Amino acid sequence: MSTDNRTHDRTHDRAHDRDTGTEPAWLLVTRREVVSRITDKSFMIGTVLMVVMLVGFIGFSAWQEERTTEVTLGATPDSVAMAAAIEEAAPDVDDKVAVTVVELDDRAAAETALREDEVDAWLHPVDDGWELTSESSEQESLTEVASAVVRQQVLSENAANVGTSVEDLEAGSTVSTDFLRGDAEKAAVAQAVGFVFVFLFYFAALIFGMQLASSVIEEKQSRIVEIIAAAIPLRQLLAGKVLGNTALAMIQLLIYIAVGLVGLSFTSYKSYVPALSGPTAWFICFFLAGFIALACLWAVAGSLASRTEDLQATSTPLTMLMLVMFFGGVSLDGRSQVIASYIPPVSAVVMPKRILAGGVEWWEPLLALGLLAVFAVVTVWVGERLYRRALLQTGGRVTLRQAWSSAE
What value does the CA radius of gyration of the chain take, rounded to a whole number of Å?
31
Rounded Cα gap, residues 405 and 400, in angstroms: 9
Q: List residues bridging with 100 in a β-sheet.
A: 72
pLDDT of residue 70: 86
AA letter at 40: D
Main-chain phi, psi angles of 12, to 5 degrees: -65, -45
AA letter at 322: M
Tens-binned pLDDT, residue by residue, of the chain (408 aa) = 444 444 444 444 554 444 445 678 889 899 988 998 888 888 888 889 989 988 888 887 777 767 788 889 999 999 899 989 999 888 888 878 889 999 999 999 988 998 998 899 999 988 888 888 888 777 788 888 888 888 888 888 888 888 777 777 777 767 766 554 555 667 788 888 999 999 999 999 999 999 999 999 988 888 888 888 888 888 899 999 999 999 999 999 999 999 999 988 888 788 888 989 999 999 999 999 999 999 999 999 999 988 888 888 899 999 999 999 999 999 998 899 999 999 999 999 999 999 998 889 999 999 999 999 999 999 999 999 899 888 877 777 888 888 787 665
According to CATH, the topology of domain 68-165 is D-Maltodextrin-Binding Protein; domain 2 (3.40.190)
pLDDT of residue 196: 92
- Decide: pTM greater than 0.95: no
Rounded Cα gap, residues 199 and 332, in angstroms: 15
pLDDT of residue 127: 84
**DSSP 8-class letter at 120:** S
What are the start and end residues of each CATH 3.40.190.10 domain in the chain? 68-165
**DSSP 8-class letter at 345:** T
